[in-house]
Structure 1
Amino acid sequence: MGFFDRLFGGRKRDEPADPNPGVASETTQDAVPEPAPATHPAAESAPEPDGLDPEELAHTTDWLREQSHVNFMINSRDSNNRQSYAMIESGLVQIGEEEGLSTEQALHIIRGAYDLRKRWATRYADADMSGQLRQAFFRIEEYGFLAREHFGISTGDGHSYMRNIARGMNPVPAGYVFFHAQDTESLVDGPATLHLRYGKIAYDSTDAAGKTAEDEAVGRKLMDFLRDAGFDPDWNGKGTGAIAIHDMAWYAMPVER
Structure 2
Amino acid sequence: MGIFDKFKRPEPVDPHVLAELREQIELWVRPGFLDRDEVLQYARDFRDDDGMAVGDRELERLVDDVWRARLAEQRSWPARTDADKVEAAFDALDASGVVARMNFTCCQTCGVAEIDDERPDDRPSTGYVFFHQQDAERLADDPAYLYLAYGTFDPEQGRVAEQDEAVGRRVQEALAGQGLPVEWGGSSAQRICVGPLVWQRRLG
Normalised-by-shorter TM-score class: 0.7 to 0.9
| Partner secondary structure for residue 221 of structure 1 | helix
Which residue does the alignment assign to 1:218? 167
What SS class does the counterpart of residue 142 from structure 2 fall into? coil
Q: Offset at 1:192?
A: 1.4
Kept in 2: contact 1:183–1:195 (CA 8 A): yes
Which gives a bigger RCO, structure 1 or 2 (Cα 8 Å, sep 6+)?
1
1:94 equivalent to 2:53? Answer no
Instruction: Tell me the secondary structure at the aligned position of residue 148 of structure 2.
Output: strand
Whole-angstrom CA distance in 2 between matches of 1:135 and 1:169: 22
Deviation, structure 1 residue 239 = 0.8
Are 1:153 and 2:106 matched, yes or no? yes
Question: Contact between 1:200 and 1:214, CA under 8 Å: does it hold in 2?
Answer: yes
Cα deviation for residue 242 of structure 1 reads 0.9
Identity over aligned pairs, percent: 22
1:13-70, CA deviations, whole angstroms, 9 ceiling, x for partnerless residues?
A: xxxxxxxxxxxxxxxxxxxxxxxxxxxxxxxxxxxx728xx67x76555434322333
Return the index of the structure with the highest Cα Rg: 2
Aligned residues: 187
TM-score of the superposed pair, with normalisation by structure 1: 0.64
Separation in 1, partners of 2:83, 2:92: 14
Partner of 1:251: 200
Query: What is the match of residue 106 of structure 1?
Result: 59
Q: Give the equivalent residue in structure 2 for 1:204.
A: 156
1:121 is displaced (CA, Å) by 2.0
Counterpart residue identity of residue 181, structure 1 = Q
Tell me how far apart the structure 2 counterparts of residues 203 and 124 of structure 1 sit (CA, whole Å).
42
Aligned residue among 132, 136, 150 for 1:184: 136
Q: What CA distance in whole angstroms lies between the structure 1 residues aligned with 2:61 and 2:141? A: 18
Selected match of 1:121 from 53, 70, 74: 74
3-state SS of 1:146 partner: strand
Which residue among 108, 130, 150 is the counterpart of 2:83? 130
* Structure-2 residue corresponding to 1:18: none
Q: Which residue matches 1:69?
A: 30
For residue 187 of structure 1, give the secondary structure of its aligned residue in structure 2. Answer: helix
Higher fraction of helix: 2
Letter of the 2:68 partner, please give it: D
Offset at 1:215? 0.4
- Structure 2 residue aligned with 1:9: none
Give the counterpart letter for 2:63 in structure 1.
I
